[in-house]
């Protein structure tokens, strides 16, 4: 698997990662997605046990989200598809960089693992939505 082929990244020097995250959460809600969790990875690693300067990021959030109707249809297509759910966006900034990054794994990349035209159709719809959200936020 070539990550550059299956992971889309949108970058901005004009936006702080906090702003990208806020806009992302707002766009997901507007599109009828439920945000199931925001994993604050940067908070986990900013502890006394972490040596100064050892982090490669200053901001790192994993946003998990789903639309219950779409999730149900994907799972109905193949029960094992749940291993890839909920869908995720990544928002981060590398240490020393002024660039905020919004990234996601293309849903069609994991849908290819299943021999299901129904699942691929659902994955394409989700992927288009995720790309539109990313373009609206960062462009």
17-36 pLDDT, tens digit per residue, is 999 999 999 999 999 999 99
Which superfamily does CATH assign the domain made up of 8-134 to? TT1751-like domain (3.30.310.70)
Counted residue by residue, the chain has a size of 139
pLDDT in tens, 127-138: 999 999 999 999
Helix (H, G, I), strand (E, B) or coil at 32: coil
Angle between helices 68-77 and 117-137 (to 10 degrees): 150
Q: Mean of the pLDDT values across residues 87-101?
A: 93
Q: pTM of the full predicted structure?
A: 0.87
Structural tokens at position 54: 């050892």
pLDDT band of residue 139 (cuts 50, 70, 90) is confident
User: Domain extents for the chain?
Assistant: 8-134
């Amino acid at each position: 698997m070539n990550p550059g082929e299956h992971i889309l990244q949108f970058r901005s020097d004009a936006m702080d990662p906090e702003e990208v995250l806020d806009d992302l959460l707002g766009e997901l809600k507007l599109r009828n997605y439920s945000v199931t969790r925001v994993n604050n990875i940067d908070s986990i690693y900013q502890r006394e046990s972490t040596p100064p300067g050892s982090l490669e990021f200053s901001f790192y959030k994993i946003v998990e989200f789903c639309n219950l109707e779409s999730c149900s249809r994907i799972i109905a297509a193949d029960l094992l598809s749940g291993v890839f759910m909920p869908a995720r966006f990544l928002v981060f900034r590398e240490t020393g960089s002024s660039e905020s990054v919004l990234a996601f794994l293309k849903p069609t990349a994991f849908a290819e693992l299943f021999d299901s035209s129904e699942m691929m159709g659902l994955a394409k719809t989700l992927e288009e939505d995720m790309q539109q959200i990313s373009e609206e936020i960062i462009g």
